[in-house]
Amino acid sequence: MLTLRFGRVGLSPALLAIFLGVFSSVSDSWATPNHQKLPSSVNPQTEIRTDVNAGKSLVPASGNSPQLVTASLGKARVKLTTPPINQVLPNDKPVSLAVQAVDQQGKPLTNAKIQLAIFTPSKTPWFSTDFPIVEGTQLLNLEAIALSGKLQVQQVLPIRGNYQLIVDVQPLDGKSFQATRQVLKFSVPENPVKYRNFAILAVILLCAGGCGGWVIGGKQVIQPGEIAPQQVRLLLSGVIIIAIASLLVVNISAEFAESHQHQHQAPHNQAKNQLSLPLNVQWLGDDSTHVGQLAVMGVKLTDPKTGIAVKDVDLKIKAIQLEHDQTVFVYQGLSDVNGKLIWQQQFFDGASHQVEVEVSPKAGAINKFPPFTFFKEIEVEGIAPPLMGRFISLGYFTAILVVGLLLGLWLRRDRIFRASASCR
């Protein structure tokens, strides 16, 4: 028969370890495997080619001035202009990223084709972000004709960390300058509100643990007819009441939120395209996708009378997350010779999105038509975060609670010891 000396053996850490160990063997089948899939032409590990005249990459300087990152490669160079770091927050407003192809003297290169691929920071399972499925994935893949050598997008960056921007620049005629590929980095700091909220939560957990330890560490006096000391009964009853109250608040709030969401859905479902558009717009992209996956987006414009593709039309793309009416992506470009504009984009939030394509004639175009907007709703399926990552974070929070508990136990026992010592 196994005898356990509870005065010496601490069961709480052992049980917690067993609890975590059992669930660590469960595969993350709840989440879609999140492998970083790269197009064959894009490889973030590509070595940067340099020549004897190549300069070094400039480290972005902190401060209030716009950041300029330049990496030299052969005869062409790429300049990345971003807002100052102190003005960028994850999952906030769209961040303006401007890529400019220049020659060695810094003069802008014209008539270029630029491909921009944005990759999110690497996975951090031991320090999870609020979008763990998005970690280590590709956020955007866009190839466009840049007559002025400049490509600009506005993209919401969902998580903190170092983003990789892989820029491929090619001459449209294939010979005016040397094609180049550069890997640039852009760092996004964590939202300071998260640190504040975590500190508040840590204090609450320490206090809860300390109170629990204080009560549990007291002299356990059982009165005749009782099954447990009064203090312990009060403590456990109190915690159960808090748990019940929390679940009640959660469930009642969810009921109100669900009814509010149903009211909001009606106006979006009523948004439709005009019955007759000046140009035929064919949607070439996906109708639905899920978080962590690059979705194909694209339109094709043709003349409604002749069916011929309409090129060099001004297209302003805007992607909006409908749940919070949040603009997540903005890009303005031109349709190509086939009347198409195709790009790949990841929707990092599991909610319905709407892609708006504002079509207008290019300045100085011969064929004029009234500008119009084409709408396309995209269903984005959310994916629960990996179980292991959630358990790791829960482990951290529980560890803080246990620290408070041990502190409370120690303080109570120390007080009892001093009281008994003074009585003698």
Residue 23 and residue 387 in contact, taking contact as beta carbons nearer than 8 Å: yes
Residue 91 and residue 85 in contact, taking contact as beta carbons nearer than 8 Å: no
- Amino acid identity of residue 412, one-letter, is R
Residues 6 or more apart whose CB falls under 8 angstroms from that of 129 comprise: 90, 121, 135, 158, 159, 160, 161
DSSP E strands in 56-206: the ranges are 67-73, 76-82, 95-102, 112-119, 138-146, 150-155, 161-171, 180-188
SS3 243: helix
Q: Which residue, 397 or 417, has its beta carbon nearer to another protein?
A: 397
CB of 414 to another protein, least distance (A): 15
SS3 195: helix
Q: Residue-wise over 130-165: b if at least 16 C-beta within 10 A, else e?
A: ebbbbbbbbbbbbbbbbeebbbbbbbbbbbbbebbb
CB of 219 to another protein, least distance (A): 11
Q: Which residue, 17 or 68, has its beta carbon nearer to another protein?
A: 17
Q: Which residue, 250 or 284, has its beta carbon nearer to another protein?
A: 250
Residue 194 and residue 91 in contact, taking contact as beta carbons nearer than 8 Å: no
SS3 387: helix
Instruction: Name which of 357, 348, 304 is nearest 328 in CA terms.
Output: 348
Q: Which residue, 336 or 349, has its beta carbon nearer to another protein?
A: 349
CB of 330 to another protein, least distance (A): 22
Beta bridge partners of 114: 144, 169
Q: Which residue, 163 or 374, has its beta carbon nearer to another protein?
A: 163
Q: Which residue, 305 or 324, has its beta carbon nearer to another protein?
A: 324
Q: Which residue, 203 or 249, has its beta carbon nearer to another protein?
A: 249
